[in-house]
Amino acid sequence: MKAKFLVTMIAGACLASLTTVSAVANTSGFGSIPGVAAGSNPYGGSGIPFNTSEYTQVTGIGAGSDTLTIALAATQYKANPAPGNDGAGTYTVGTGLVGGKSTWNFDFYGNSSLGQLANYVFTLTETANGHTVTFNPLTLPDNAGTAGTSFGNSERLDFAAFGAGLSYDPNANDTYDFDLSVVSAAGGPAIADTHITVNARAGAVPDAASTAMLLGFGFIGLALFGRRQMRLATVAK
């Protein structure tokens, strides 16, 4: 009887777990971070753009139905040119230093709608040059955000804690991968994951989407110029 009761309890727990998982909805995308108001600074600092972020949002987590949002981005450092992007999480940045600092930052963000960040374990993994650096972004002492509810930061690989383990060279053409994953503090598989790639290239050109747009404007300009010349020629006659 005792064994049968134990089996019933285990089966019930498994069913409850499956029911909870089936209620979870996962949405990923590129653009502004869901739930973050315009004019906010989710990555800390002031004026750091968040409208070119790669994000994942998971709803319906746990009995309280928490919503977890995570995001990554590459952004310009201060007045440097904004990184190009393909609209799907791949960025292009220039190499070199300005004022002794790299021209770009990597940014990360996390939010729990129920203020339950302590229920999760966050892992940010950087990969480049055959090396990997891993850390928990929630634990950085200079994070922006509200304790227990949200955190965010904008960092550079110039800082030894983030770049030394990658053999970071700001003047080198290189590719950097950043992955932010989340699991339950109780263990188990990943709840959420988001990923970006940053290509550092000397004399970096705008991304394909920006280039196409610029070419489009150029063709329109040429067409308008041609029409104007035709009108002038007609008047001259």
pLDDT at 41: 97
DSSP string, 86-133: -SSSEEEEE-SEETTEESEEEEEEEEETTS-GGGEEEEEEEEETTEEE
pLDDT of residue 77: 96
**pLDDT value of residue 204:** 74
* CA pair distance 34, 68, nearest whole angstrom: 10
User: What integer pLDDT is reported at residue 217 of this predicted model?
Assistant: 44
Q: Which of 49, 102, 107, 53 is nearest to 80 (CA)?
A: 102
Summarize pLDDT for 126-184 with one digit per residue, the tens.
999 999 999 999 999 999 999 999 999 999 999 999 999 999 999 999 999 999 999 99
Q: Please state, in angstroms and rounded to a whole number, the distance separating the CA atoms of residues 74 and 21.
A: 32
What's the whole-model pTM score? 0.79
* Predicted confidence (pLDDT) per residue in 56-110, tens digit: 999 999 999 999 999 999 999 999 999 999 999 999 999 999 999 999 999 999 9
Q: Please state the rounded mean pLDDT for residues 20-25.
A: 61
What per-residue confidence (pLDDT) applies to 88?
98
Predicted local confidence at residue 227, as pLDDT? 52
Question: What is the per-residue pLDDT across 186-200, written as a single tens digit (0 to 9) for each?
Answer: 999 999 999 999 999
Say what the pLDDT of residue 234 is. 46
Domain spans in the chain, listed from the N-terminal domain onward: 24-205
Q: Which residue has the tokens 């932010």?
A: 180
Q: Put the strands of the sheet holding 53-61 in their side by side order.
A: 25-31, 53-61, 66-76, 104-112, 150-155
Q: Is 90:117 a contact under the CB 8 Å cutoff?
A: no
